[in-house]
Amino acid sequence: MNQPIVIPAVARDGSLYPIEKMKAHVDGVLHLAVSVFVFDGDLLLIQKRASGKYHCGGQWANTCCSHPHWSESVEDCAERRLSEELGFAVPLTRHETVEYAADVGSGLKENERVTLFSAQVDRRRLDVVPNPEEVEAVQWVAPRNLYRAVAETPDAFTPWFRIYLERFPALQFAA
């Protein structure tokens, strides 16, 4: 039997406390998260979430995103999930921490304090090996094509990815 995953939630005073991941999503509790954006020049590596994911399955998202385990640093989480989801490790640059809230369907809500990370790579030298339990497909996408696709088929993209593209374009690339 799988143990519930415990993640850091954020109290009103800013302190952290442990909460079961699904409870955080059902109740919409503010919690810590990470999002990773891997680039080759201005091309961004995006992933299509596996259809069996507990929310937003089959939708496109940024390179990688997750929640730190209780007592895990955001840096360690970003590195761990990049390896677990896509099978590679690269040096990551930490950026700002942002907050957003979104309905992700099935009665679940994201309410996240997200630390953003990025990396620049040469995709010809990067061996991307998606974990099929996590990732259905990957694609390198140019800014113009990404923004066009989001405008034409917004439901094909996760709510948080659409929020990032709208609210934090400086972290990615100019449209």
- Residues annotated in a binding site: 25, 31, 67, 85, 110, 112
Farthest CA pair distance, the chain: 46
Q: Write down the catalytic residue from 56, 64, 79, 112.
A: 112
- DSSP-derived letter for residue 56 is S
Q: Which residues are annotated as a binding site for Mg(2+)?
A: 85
Residue 103 phi, psi (nearest 5): -80, 125
Q: Beta strands of 124-163 (E only): which ranges?
A: 135-141
Q: Write down the catalytic residue from 56, 64, 65, 77.
A: 65
Beta carbons within 10 angstroms of residue 175's beta carbon:
11
Q: Indicate if 65 belongs to the active site.
A: yes
Q: Which residues are annotated as a binding site for Mn(2+)?
A: 25, 31, 67, 110, 112
Q: What value does the CA radius of gyration of the chain take, rounded to a whole number of Å?
A: 15
- CA distances for 99 relative to 67, 112, 140, angstroms: 14, 6, 26
Catalytic positions are 65, 112
